[in-house]
Copies of this chain bind each other. A is one copy, B any other.
């Protein structure tokens, strides 16, 4: 990594430790005040600031092995990596009643392209879990045409909903009012706990699972899996039919490989709603 920035290389950052604000701001951002300040004043301190980053919680899925009196054998340790591929359903006709919410022709076309792409990627898919809402069922129908033989599993937990109060707030949303969070939040969180975790120690090979569901569910899963503030889900948009890929390693670290990857669609097939 080259270091050729004479202009910046002498700008040192104040070395004092920063206190956590009482307002609930996550502490990492506390560092930016001093960084901005450093541009204006530059100090002589050579210490890097002790930024109060939030530590990664390796036990986020309650599957971390701790060294106890009885050290677990290597047989008990997760060995495999789980790849979670989250697919957003296609464009659909909106109605209050879910049974009427069929995919548009474009929506079917989008998911046909997504199915082709999944086939082309040629991962050893172990299952397709799909939301039981009409638009997700119909999206799954398009995908499985290209992945015959992959088991499909319907699931109510990953139906669309209001996972968490978004920030910034969205005017007139959710239409049902704050009660929507009471109903949907615990259910979508339960889906997260059920599906998004490191591999079981009995899993010997890396796995690839497809989940066909909804924008809010996917965005919430991404925030939670990356240990980001859950209210931030609203700051992401997902194209219809797009692929979002989370990798969960045996150690409990998580990586987002793709988010809203729709590049296999011609531009005139891309839609957001």
Contacts and interface: CB of A to CB of B under 8 A. Distances in A.
Contacts of A25: 26, 54
Contacts of A28: 164, 167, 229-231
Given A3-B183, A26-B229, A29-B230, A8 B190 contact: yes
A124 interface: no
Contacts of A117: 263
A235 B4 CA distance: 27
A66 interface: no
A213 interface: no
A187 interface: yes
B232 A226 contact: yes
Interface stretch (A67-75, A79-87, A145-153, A170-178): A170-178
A20 interface: yes
Q: Which of A36, A183, A237 has the most chain B CB atoms closer than 10 A to its own CB?
A: A183
Interface residues of A, number: 92
A266 to B, nearest CB: 8
Nearest to A169: B56
A115 to B, nearest CB: 13
Interface in A204-240: 226-232, 235-237, 239
Contact of A257 (B35, B178, B186, B260): B260
Given A182-B48, A185-B13, A53 B231 contact: yes
A200 interface: no
A195 interface: no
A76 to B, nearest CB: 22
B39 A190 contact: yes
A180 interface: yes
A98 B32 CA distance: 29
Given A20-B22, A168-B253, 13 more contacts: A5-B159, A8-B187, A28-B230, A48-B165, A48-B181, A53-B165, A53-B231, A54-B229, A117-B263, A228-B232, A237-B247, A258-B259, A263-B263
Ranked 10 nearest A-B pairs via Cβ: A263-B263, A26-B26, A259-B259, A56-B168, A263-B264, A28-B229, A53-B231, A8-B187, A24-B27, A24-B52
8 contacts: A24-B26, A24-B27, A25-B26, A28-B164, A35-B185, A48-B179, A237-B257, A259-B259
Interface of A: 1-5, 7-9, 11-13, 20, 22, 24-29, 31-32, 35-36, 38-39, 46, 48, 51-56, 58, 98, 117, 120-122, 133, 156, 159-162, 164-165, 167-168, 174-176, 178-187, 189-190, 226-232, 235-237, 239, 243, 247, 253-267
